Structure 1
């Protein structure tokens, strides 16, 4: 580090370059002193994973990209019987709730809600991560005089909420608790509703219990408090 700093300072030719070089050198020394390092990959304890979330859905594609980026050695497989772990979507919904109305009864503010429920099991059906519910809620002002613009804004916020859920799922899968549970899965209870691996090859993947996210949200006409 010190040799690099000296080389950086010796390579400058003008006072301005010297000042910039000195500032960069000071920053390098500060980061080194703080133990700074770039965030690397976080390998998952399994190398193959199956999910019933549609690959061609925006949510499914985002989740796959995030998991592979976090754990490059992990790959998705098309059949449950080929997977060491199974991420099962149990429920998935999004909705708009009328949060406030003006004197004419027009919506002034919406509450956006996403809910995703999933679990993680190993190849034998042991429950590594029990059914887990993730919520995301945002509030957004609304103006019916610019409907198209506001609809675009709502769609953008839903996508941001979607990415937030994806990030939370990946962090949970990579957590020490899940890693430890997976390695000790033989001691965990079995999901009785799981399809046996021997029968799964000829059985279609279960369909989501709710419409895929980021389509037309369900509107809840409720202006009361929450």
Structure 2
């Protein structure tokens, strides 16, 4: 009985778990267009976050907005060296470009680099475990990049989208009118 009452109070007060902010329903329907070099796990994580936020996903030709994710880069470099000149720590860094366009190619988010990095200790005597740790860190970096993408989409509400469309229309009109 007490547990049911607590659940009712928590849901009734508007409590929600912390996480990615909600993406505005103004961005519907949305297409997620990942280039070939973007890991499938990253694209899947973005789609999953959007679906959890109740954003309707469609193919690019049917969507009003397109989230383009591309130019994925990953870097692994030694960040600390032992006395024997062996790597003691590595830093993993993943970077991806995103942009959001309307169906009529108006940019809502200009091309932007997002990145995430993580450092881990390396042990020459335990190579297999460190390889597994590195793979787990790569998965975490994908999830963090997906969250960053969602954070970038969150401010795009109906009012902001309308302002960006009007600014783009004005810029096109001014460039088409040679007298101004």
Both proteins in one fold, TM over 0.5: yes
Please say if residues 75 and 93 of structure 2, whose CA atoms lie closer than 8 Å, have aligned partners that are also in contact.
yes
Counterpart check, 1:44 vs 2:22: no
Q: Quote the Cα distance in structure 2 between the aligned partners of 1:106 and 1:90.
A: 34
What is the match of residue 112 of structure 1?
Answer: 92
Q: d(CA) in 2 for partners of 1:30 and 1:186?
A: 42
> What is the Cα deviation at residue 155 of structure 1?
0.8
Gaps of at least 5 residues in structure 1 are 1-7, 9-20, 191-226
Find the structure with the greater CA-based Rg.
Answer: 1
- 1:161 is displaced (CA, Å) by 1.4
Kindly tell me: are residues 140 and 28 of structure 1, through their superposed partners in 2, closer, same or farther at Cα, counting changes over 3 Å?
A: same
Residue ranges of structure 2 left out of the alignment (5+ in a row): 170-180
CA deviation map 1:133-192 (0-9, x unaligned): 2121111100121111101101101111110111121122122x45433233422448xx
Task: Identify the range of structure 1 (38-47 vs 89-98) with the bigger mean alpha-carbon deviation.
Answer: 38-47
More deviation in 103-112 or 88-97?
88-97
Measured in 1, the distance between the counterparts of 2:14 and 2:83 equals 55
| Equivalence for 1:89 | 69
| Candidates 80, 83, 99, aligned match of 1:103 | 83
TM-score under structure 2 normalisation? Answer: 0.76
* 57, 68, 73: which one aligns with 2:51: 68
Please say if 1:173 is aligned against 2:156.
no
Q: How many residues in Structure 1 have an aligned counterpart in Structure 2?
A: 164
CA distance in 2, matches of 1:137, 1:82: 35
Could you say which residue in structure 1 is the equivalent of 2:178? none
Indicate the RMSD between aligned Cα atoms, in angstroms.
3.0
Q: 1:184 aligns with which of 156, 163, 169?
A: 163
Match of 1:12 in 2: none
Bigger strand fraction: 2
Contact 2:94 2:141 in 1 (8 A): yes
Q: Does 1:146 align with 2:126?
A: yes
Change (3 A) 1:82 1:44: same
Question: Structure 1 residues 168 and 180, CA, compared in 2 at 3 Å: closer, same or farther?
Answer: farther
Matched residue of 1:118: which SS? strand
Report the Cα offset of residue 44 of structure 1: 2.8
Residues 109 and 48 of structure 1: CA distance in aligned 2, closer, same or farther (over 3 Å): same
TM-score, normalising length: structure 1? 0.62
